[in-house]
Structure 1
Amino acid sequence: MTAIQRPSSRGSASLLVPLLVGGLVMIALGVYGRVNPPTGFAVGVAGFSAALPMKVWLTTGATVLAVVQVVSALSMWGKLGIDIPAGVHRWSGRLAFILTIPVAFHCLYALGLQYDAPRVMVHSLLGCFFYGVFTTKLLSLRKQDAPGWTFPVLGGLAFTALVGLWLTSSFWFFTTIGFKI
Structure 2
Amino acid sequence: MSESPTTRQPTTAGVGGLAAVVIGALVAVGLGAFGKMHEPQFFSINVAGFSSGTAVKSWLATLAVALAVFQLASAFAMYRLTPGGRAPAWIGTAHVWSGRLAVLATVPVAVHCLYALGFASTDTRVLFHSLFGCFFYGAFATKMLLLTRRGVRAWVVPIAGGLVFFGLVYTWLTSALWFFQTTGITF
Partner of 2:3: none
CA distance in 2, matches of 1:43, 1:22: 29
CA distance in 2, matches of 1:82, 1:166: 32
CA distance in 2, matches of 1:145, 1:82: 24
Of residues 162, 168, 177, the one that matches 2:168 is 162
Amino acid at match of 1:100: T
1:109-150, Cα deviation, whole Å (9 max, x unpaired): 100000011001000000000000000000110212112221
1:59-111, Cα deviation, whole Å (9 max, x unpaired): 00000000000011111111112414200100000000000000000000100
CA distance in 1, matches of 2:107, 2:48: 15
CA distance in 1, matches of 2:118, 2:183: 22
Partner of 2:102: 96
Amino acid at match of 2:140: F
Partner of 1:106: 112
CA distance in 2, matches of 1:161, 1:145: 26
Partner of 2:21: 19
CA distance in 2, matches of 1:52, 1:180: 10
CA distance in 2, matches of 1:40, 1:110: 5
Sequence identity percentage: 45
Whether the 8 Å CA contact 1:14–1:145 is kept in 2: the answer is no
1:140 aligns with 2:142: no
Of residues 28, 34, 37, the one that matches 2:30 is 28
> Aligned pairs, how many?
172
CA distance in 2, matches of 1:176, 1:101: 24
Give me the TM-score of the superposition, normalised by structure 1: 0.91
CA distance in 2, matches of 1:131, 1:46: 28
Partner of 2:53: 51
Give 3-state SS (helix, strand or coil) of 2:174's partner. Answer: helix
How far 1:12 sits from its partner (Å)? 2.8
Amino acid at match of 1:83: A
How far 1:58 sits from its partner (Å)? 0.4
Amino acid at match of 1:151: V
Give 3-state SS (helix, strand or coil) of 1:40's partner. Answer: coil
Give 3-state SS (helix, strand or coil) of 1:103's partner. Answer: helix
Of residues 83, 88, 106, the one that matches 2:87 is 83
Amino acid at match of 1:94: R
Unpaired segments ≥5 residues, structure 2: 1-10
